Amino acid sequence: MRKKFIAGNWKMFNEPTAASEFIKSYRKLIESDQTVMASIKEGKIEAAVFPPFVSISAAVQAKDNAPITIGAQNVHWEDFGAYTGEISAPMLKEIGATHAIIGHSERRHIFKEDNEMLNKRVKAALAKGITPIFCVGEVLADRENGKTFDVIKEQLTEGIKGVRSGDAAKIIMAYEPVWAIGTGKTASAEDAQEVCGYIRNELAKMFDEPTAQIVLILYGGSVKPSNARSILEQADIDGVLVGGASLQPDTFFDITKAGI
Ligand code: PGA
């Protein structure tokens, strides 16, 4: 039984004070709901937020011992060095981040991060004990030209090539169709399932079936309380990566509950 992983990608929102306030409110919401707390304790769901780098410490402090996972929105492959603007895995670990999003479409398209760079990030994160949330997704033109699966396959194989079998099960995958991010257009639950199922099959080919069955695969793109449940009900969708709707504690809490 794979758990449901409910992730909030805050992007460039929530400075440290706002991050702290968010976590305190969200924490109250989950701690006052016995069903949610029981599901978290039993390992059935996991709630995670990904603040901007500068707000990670504030979020970690505000959560105290509450069961909220805190991650980063990127991670570099070297521990230190002349890489202006980058943050490394040991730096993240020291301030309490355990996960990192890698290859988000905004990194791929706005900041031109390519498959080779992303592959280095994924392998380094795994080697240094940070769980990667590795994102793939097609743009609208790919989908309209019937190229969705080709694009996903290339991003997947290039992005995680060279990952050792034993490490592959630790990767969390996220399918985020670029045309559905921040647009209000969600992939239908069936379309999302089709691609997430495809990703699981490809993982079985690249590694093996037991590994593919362990990997958590998330869907992201205009997820909100009203569509989260139907998405989370799909056989190969183990969670959601939520942008806009993760910025309000009560809305993100409603999405968290949809994972139960
Ligand atoms: P959205 O963003 O929920 O605002 O569409 C999702 C994401 O980019 O992770």
pLDDT in tens, the chain (260 residues): 899 999 999 999 999 999 999 999 999 999 999 999 999 999 999 999 999 999 999 999 999 999 999 999 999 999 999 999 999 999 999 999 999 999 999 999 999 999 999 999 999 999 999 999 999 999 999 999 999 999 999 999 999 999 998 999 999 999 999 999 989 888 899 999 999 999 999 999 999 999 999 999 999 999 999 999 999 999 999 999 999 999 999 999 999 999 99
Instruction: Compute the distance between CA of residue 89 and CA of residue 123 in angstroms, rounded to an integer.
Output: 11
pLDDT digits (tens, 9 = 90+) for 24-36: 999 999 999 999 9
Separation of 40 CA from ligand 1 center, angstroms? 23
Q: Can 78 be counted among the known catalytic residues?
A: no
Q: Is 47 in a helix, a strand, or coil?
A: strand
Instruction: Compute the distance between CA of residue 25 and CA of residue 249 in angstroms, rounded to an integer.
Output: 6
Instruction: Compute the distance between CA of residue 134 and CA of residue 103 in angstroms, rounded to an integer.
Output: 6
* Catalytic residue (one of 46, 99, 104, 202): 104
Whole-structure pTM value: 0.98
Token look-up 């924490």 returns: 27
The secondary structure of residue 246, as a DSSP letter, is G
Residues 49, 70 contacting (CB under 8 angstroms)? yes
Instruction: Compute the distance between CA of residue 215 and CA of residue 200 in angstroms, rounded to an integer.
Output: 8
- Pocket-testing residue among 49, 74, 136, 176, ligand 1, by greatest number of atoms within 8 A of Cβ: 176
177 Cβ neighbours under 8 A, 6+ residues apart: 137, 138, 143, 148, 187, 192, 195, 221
Instruction: Compute the distance between CA of residue 155 and CA of residue 170 in angstroms, rounded to an integer.
Output: 18
Dihedrals phi, psi of 220, to nearest 5 degrees? -140, 145
Ligand 1 atom at minimal distance to the Cα of residue 174: 9
- Pocket-testing residue among 242, 254, 255, ligand 1, by greatest number of atoms within 8 A of Cβ: 242
Residues 167, 96 contacting (CB under 8 angstroms)? no
Q: Can 104 be counted among the known catalytic residues?
A: yes
Ligand 1 atom at minimal distance to the Cα of residue 181: 5
Six-digit token string for 87: 């943050």
pLDDT digits (tens, 9 = 90+) for 155-214: 999 999 999 989 999 999 999 999 999 898 888 999 999 999 999 999 999 999 999 999
Dihedrals phi, psi of 146, to nearest 5 degrees? 70, 25
Q: Residue 235 is which amino acid?
A: A
